[in-house]
Chains A and B, each alone.
Chain A
């Protein structure tokens, strides 16, 4: 069975400091991995996906198959990054992690 683990429910980071949100997964096969974000009073939306290997809003995530991880990183946190972040795994059906609430401290 596929599983996504986000070990941190809450994460507080000072503005300008680096951010890393952890995501580990278990999946038999070649996974597709995603990060979704939900800002306050907004709908859940895709932030980035591993196959596109792009940087969105300064965030990047690298798939590490050896460690079965897909951590989300940003070198310098901004206040507008405060949000709920979900890691997700799958193709037609997605399995979501339990989410990490990121708070950026001014």
Chain B
């Protein structure tokens, strides 16, 4: 059973702070993703990674960066948090190499920036 975990369920930060969101998966998946989920906007891809140290921008990368130093861990970094980054952040992983494009999601981190 695939398990994707995220470091925090709820996070409150101040404007201008540097914020780290961590995601870990335990199924040796190659691909990992960061989305933000907003009412009426659905899920929007921020960044994804298809291998260690490899990353690609998604649809809304501005204000974010990512790090993938180990296969199981994918971090999302908000360099200087702003109020418009208040959102639910979802991490996901998948393994096309295992024959499936299905993405497995973490429980989400609800970030509030004040």
Contact = CB atoms under 8 A, between A and B. Distances in A.
B42 A96 contact: yes
Interface string B70-103: 0000000000000000000010101010000111
- Report whether over half of chain A's contact residues are helix, strand or loop; otherwise say mixed: loop
Contacts of A86: 42-43
Chain A contact residues (Cβ within 8 angstroms of B): what range?
20 to 34
Given A9-B40, A86-B42, A98-B42, A45 B105 contact: yes
Given A98-B40, A98-B41, A92 B101 contact: yes
Contact of B108 (A43, A92, A98): A43
Given A32-B101, A44-B105, A92 B31 contact: yes
A95 B41 CA distance: 12
Contacts of B41: 98
B42 A91 contact: no
B107 A43 contact: yes
B48 interface: yes
A49 B102 contact: yes
B48 A93 contact: yes
Given A93-B45, A96-B42, A98-B42, A43 B103 contact: no
Given A44-B90, A98-B41, A98-B42, A92 B96 contact: yes
A17 interface: no
Interface of A: 6, 9, 32, 34, 43-46, 49, 86, 90-99
28 contacts: A6-B42, A9-B40, A34-B101, A34-B102, A43-B4, A43-B105, A43-B106, A43-B108, A44-B90, A45-B105, A86-B42, A86-B43, A91-B101, A92-B31, A92-B50, A92-B94, A93-B33, A93-B48, A93-B58, A94-B101, A94-B103, A95-B45, A96-B44, A98-B40, A98-B41, A98-B42, A99-B42, A99-B43
